[in-house]
């Protein structure tokens, strides 16, 4: 009871809960079982494995004995990550899959190569916070393309494989920043912010969209044995944070989580028994969390549907 109250207070007051302190207090007070179920015979796909949270998650999945598909957009960085992960874990069943998540053609090519491969866990981790408005080769704003549209298309193109591989899990790595924003269905590609760019707002909107899409995929896959969850890792010391939020990183540096601490709930969602018993949750530090802290961020059913329809239309997903 005390543990639960402390956990909730840390969560709602943001700073204590999102830092390494929050992770360590919860780990100790809740008495987390560090020994997660083994994953031999399971195939886990993780995007964004070349640094930060994705790399740490891939390492933990490899330690649990999974076959891990390491999705990276650069062959050299992917090969280096694989070599380091094999050396760290002794698991040689790790395979680099090249894909630029911001490119619809690249996502389609990856899905094509995956046909016939069972998929038990898919982790949509790759992401970015854009310093300026850029569009991809498909003409899509790059944060929306990478954080939302690419993962949406990959989920759609692997849906039948996931169903056939069930029990299976899809995990969207969102951000606590999403609490600050409502989904921007009338401006998903941030054209309205082009002249007054705020990357953190654009990023947070994509992270809000991820949480809604996880819920909608969970509804679509209900009863299939494929569960879908979103999570946020807290504030984690990664190259991404250092590059895109240098001032924030400097102030909170001593309190930032390690990538392993940030990845913990991803691996728990992918391996533990409890997350398989529900779907459509939003998690942080192994506990379901609210998806809204402010009434102003709540979206309507029409906006949820509009987000889904826009993703289908822009990606050409077969759903
Ligand atoms: N760190 C935090 O405090 C924090 C907080 C909340 C949420 N998150 C979320 O956690 C996830 C991981 O972030 P991180 O902090 O670990 O960042 P990071 O160190 O910058 O890692 C991002 C990863 O995504 C990959 N990536 C980026 N764009 C890609 C693309 N178009 N195609 C394929 N891969 C791409 C990067 O690959 P390259 O090596 O090729 O660039 C890298 O492997 C992100 O979704 C982020 O929003 C992080």
Q: Is the CB of 240 under 6 A from ligand 1?
A: yes
Q: What fold, for 39-315?
A: Rossmann fold (3.40.50)
DSSP state of 67: E
Ligand 1 site-directed mutation target among 238, 243, 265, 282, most atoms within 8 Å of CB: 238
Q: Is the CB of 124 under 6 A from ligand 1?
A: no
- Minimal-distance CA residue to ligand 1 atom 34: 48
Q: Is the CB of 137 under 6 A from ligand 1?
A: no
Sorted by where each begins, the domain ranges of the chain are 1-32, 39-315
Buried b (16+ CB within 10 A) or exposed e, 213-252: bbbbbbeebeeeebbbbbbbbbbbbbebbeebbeeebeeb
Task: Show which residues are catalytic.
Answer: 203
- Minimal-distance CA residue to ligand 1 atom 2: 236
Q: Is the CB of 167 under 6 A from ligand 1?
A: no
Q: Where does residue 277 rank: exposed (0-12), middle (13-18), buried (19+ CB within 10 A)?
A: exposed
Give the pTM.
0.97
Per-residue pLDDT of the chain (319 residues; tens, 9 = 90+): 557 877 887 787 777 899 999 999 999 988 898 899 999 999 999 999 999 999 999 999 999 999 999 999 999 999 999 999 999 999 999 999 999 999 999 999 999 999 999 999 999 999 999 999 999 999 999 999 999 999 999 999 999 999 999 999 999 999 999 999 999 999 999 999 999 999 999 999 999 999 999 999 999 999 999 999 999 999 999 999 999 999 999 999 999 999 999 999 999 999 999 999 999 999 999 999 999 999 999 999 999 999 999 999 999 999 9
| Spatial separation of the C-alpha atoms in residues 258 and 104, rounded to whole Å | 32
Task: Locate 209 and state its tokens.
Answer: 């969209």
């Amino acid at each position: 009871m005390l543990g639960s109250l402390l956990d909730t207070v840390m969560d709602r007051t943001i700073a204590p809960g999102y830092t390494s302190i929050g992770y360590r207090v919860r780990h100790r007070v809740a008495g987390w079982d560090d020994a997660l179920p083994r994953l031999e015979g399971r195939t886990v796909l993780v995007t964004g494995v070349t640094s930060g949270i994705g790399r740490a998650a891939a390492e933990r999945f490899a330690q649990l004995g999974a076959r891990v598909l390491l999705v990276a957009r650069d062959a050299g960085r992917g090969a280096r990550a694989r070599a380091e992960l094999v050396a760290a874990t002794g698991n040689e069943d790790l395979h680099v899959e090249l894909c630029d998540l911001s490119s619809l053609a690249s996502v389609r090519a990856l899905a094509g190569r995956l046909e016939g491969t069972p998929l038990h866990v898919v982790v949509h981790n790759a992401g970015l916070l854009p310093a300026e408005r850029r569009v991809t080769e498909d003409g899509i704003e790059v944060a929306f393309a990478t954080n939302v549209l690419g993962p949406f298309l990959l989920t759609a193109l692997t849906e039948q494989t996931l169903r056939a591989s069930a029990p299976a899990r899809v995990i969207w790595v969102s951000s606590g920043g999403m609490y600050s924003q409502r989904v921007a269905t009338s401006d998903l590609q941030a054209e309205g912010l082009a002249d007054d760019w705020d990357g953190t707002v654009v990023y947070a909107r994509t992270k809000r969209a991820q949480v809604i899409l996880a819920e909608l995929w969970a509804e679509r896959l209900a009863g299939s044995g494929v569960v879908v969850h979103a999570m946020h890792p807290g504030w984690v010391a990664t190259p991404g944070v250092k590059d895109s939020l240098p001032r924030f990183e400097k102030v909170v540096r001593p309190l930032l989580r390690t990538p392993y601490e940030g990845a913990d709930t991803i691996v728990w969602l992918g391996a533990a028994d409890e997350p398989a018993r529900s779907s459509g949750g939003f998690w942080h530090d192994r506990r379901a969390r609210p998806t809204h802290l402010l009434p102003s961020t709540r979206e309507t059913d029409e906006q949820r549907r509009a987000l889904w329809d826009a993703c289908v239309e822009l990606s050409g997903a077969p759903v």
